[in-house]
Structure 1
Amino acid sequence: MINHVYGLAVRVFLTDENGKILILKRSTDSKTNPGKWELPGGKVDQDESFDHALTREVYEETKLKIALDHVVGAAEQNLHIIRAVHIIMSGNVVEGELTLSSEHEGYAWVYSKNLSNYELADWLEDYITNKNNILDQGKRDGKQENKTTEDAKNILKPWVNSIKDSMDKIVKKK
């Protein structure tokens, strides 16, 4: 039995040549996380691949063209009606001059160690806290190299299965 309807979103840790990460400040008019900082990205449309959705969303939000590297993790966000699963990737800017859409009212390039100086969106705050806990545990166990990848797979599997079940039910109704 499915207790939640799941939505899928994609985000990116965009890094510059100095190793700084791009974060965007949500508009204070936003329904979710108003005025808080988040990674660029957004919803995956039906029949859209993760990578296409992410490059599209980043361009819509910033006018930047990006190249993606790989998946670095996942985060969950409980909204009023749905539970959003954020697939987080890494990438870099290929071209463009940063121009914000109306969804955001500010941006900053920051070192990851300074992210705690910003009021982050709830899902990003949870992701960073959990990732740090995983990294700390891996250091204690001496198993640093694959700990975060395995954990991300374990976290994603039930979400992906639930999304698949939800989609199967929707398709059967049509």
Structure 2
Amino acid sequence: MSTMWGLTARGICEFNDKILLLKIRSKSAHDAGKWEIPGGKVKKCEFFDEALKREYLEETGLDIDIVSLYNVVRNDYTACKTSEEVKSIQLIMKVTCESDEVNISREHDDYGWFTIDEVNQMIENGLLTPPAVNAFKK
């Protein structure tokens, strides 16, 4: 079976020196109850910046501006529906928003704005998804 390659775009949004993270719903098949960086899969024929803005709006209700590339990480996983092995390249972008009024979707149970020290503490305590942990490693 051939390997599938996927592209995911995520955005580290800072507002008042705090970073936005979303808590994956407890019923999720992957990383339930862990915290992640907002974002998602880039669809076929979609520009990754448009995908990131779309996913951010869906997951947080926020309109974002993309500032710069922050990091690139690889996350390999098995697709739930097809059981195919997927190698996912994750583009981690620095993004900005005009507000900290978040409106989460049903994909997440909670959200929070955290200082970088708090994020590092959460990483030490195993509360972030593996790709999120790698994203913050420079």
TM-score (normalised: structure 1) = 0.69
Give the paired residue count: 128
Higher helix share: 1
Partner of 1:68: 66
Partner of 1:104: 108
Segments of 5+ residues of structure 1 without an aligned counterpart are 132-174
Write the distance in 2 (CA, Å) between the matches of 1:44 and 1:37: 20
* Residue identity in the other structure for 2:114: V
Once the two structures are superposed, the pairs formed by residues 1-174 of structure 1 within 5 Å of their partners are: 4-16=3-15, 18-80=16-78, 81-94=85-98, 97-118=101-122, 119-129=127-137, 131=138
Indicate the structure whose relative CO is greater, using CA pairs within 8 Å and at least 6 residues apart. Answer: 2
Give the structure with higher Rg (CA): 1
Aligned-residue offset at 1:58: 0.3
* Residue identity in the other structure for 2:20: L
Which secondary structure state, in structure 2, belongs to the residue aligned with residue 79 of structure 1?
Answer: strand
Higher strand share: 2
The share of aligned pairs that are identical, in percent, is: 32
Write the distance in 2 (CA, Å) between the matches of 1:96 and 1:113: 19
Write the distance in 1 (CA, Å) between the matches of 2:104 and 2:5: 28
Aligned-residue offset at 1:75: 1.3
TM-score (normalised: structure 2) = 0.85
* Residue identity in the other structure for 1:53: A
What do residues 85-125 of structure 1 show as CA deviations (whole Å, max 9, x unaligned)? 11000111135831110100011101112213320001111
